[in-house]
Amino acid sequence: MSLIEAVLIMLAGMAAGTINTIVGSGTLVTFPTLLAMGFPPVAANMSNTVGLVAGGLSGTWGYRKELGGLKDLLKRLAPWSFAGGVVGALLLLVLPEEAFSTIVPVLIATGVLLVLVGPALQRRAAASRSDSESEGESLGRRVLLAGGVFAAGVYGGYFGAAQGVLLMGMMSVLLANPLQQLNGVKNLLSTIVNAVAAAVFLVVAWDQIEWAVVALIAVGALIGGVIGAKVGRKLPPWLLRAFIVLVGVVAIVNLLRG
């Protein structure tokens, strides 16, 4: 690896850490960069996942204020992200990379659509919801949210690009919290998925991980997470929503072209 390549990988890690903290899809920066430099796809994917954990930690810390008071919600959702991350990481080791090539763009498009229609759906739900709302309806929402978080975790453990778009879209519809709070939740859940997937790779595929790449991405992503938290927390809801949609559309185009 040349000095120029090392610098490019670190800069890609910084960009990915920033984008992941604001919305997600940072993998669409680092993963193609590694492929362009000749790293094998599976090794690049695993090395990228391990390296980006650092950015998730700094980004989540930057959103700690927004996460205040959400302890019960986080305790309810975190185990589903954990389980999904394990399943997704194991799938990466046993399935061909083409396995999700068709469904991934559809999932991202669904996430983008949910981000767009989320506010309207929330208003309709609030208008139709009465004080006598049944426990079954509330339970239904919880089941949908848990299943969605688990599915996003599986996808995140397998590849991870635009996991944040999926989470934000789903939570925008099923939760009434402000968008910035949801972004904080998204950062924590995504970090759990990445960390769990990284741990699985460390245990079962240590020899396939490019440790120089991991170190460079980790340094860049750590810095990027701090930058992303500072920028993302200042964005008004409409602009944050627009940025999520833009990143989601770019992700779909890149995946379809690839």
At 40 the three-state DSSP class reads: coil
Tokens, residue 116: 């767009």
Q: What is the DSSP letter of 165?
A: H
pLDDT recorded at residue 97:
61
CA distance 243 to 251: 12
pLDDT recorded at residue 129:
47
Going from the C-alpha of 47 to that of each of 4, 13, 138, the distances in angstroms are 19, 11, 40
Domain that holds residue 48: 3-257
**Is 221:52 a contact under the CB 8 Å cutoff?**
yes
Total count of domains within the chain: 1
Q: What is the DSSP letter of 97?
A: G
Dump pLDDT digits (tens) for 109-132. 776 676 676 666 656 655 554 444
The letter for the amino acid at 181 is Q
pLDDT recorded at residue 135:
45
CA distance 18 to 92: 25
Q: Which helix (H) or strand (E) holds 6?
A: helix 3-22
The letter for the amino acid at 220 is G
pLDDT recorded at residue 136:
44
The letter for the amino acid at 93 is L
Tokens, residue 220: 């860049």
- Nearest one of 258, 198, 254 to 19, comparing CA atoms: 254
pLDDT recorded at residue 211:
93
Per-residue pLDDT of the chain (258 residues; tens, 9 = 90+): 789 999 999 999 999 899 888 877 788 788 878 888 888 877 888 899 899 999 999 999 999 998 988 988 999 999 999 999 999 888 878 877 666 566 667 766 776 676 676 666 656 655 554 444 444 447 778 898 999 999 989 988 887 767 887 888 788 788 878 888 888 999 999 999 999 989 988 988 888 899 999 999 999 999 999 999 988 888 776 776 677 677 667 767 766 776
Dump pLDDT digits (tens) for 82-98. 999 999 888 878 877 66
- Nearest one of 139, 120, 102, 113 to 249, comparing CA atoms: 113
CA distance 229 to 20: 10
CA distance 233 to 228: 8
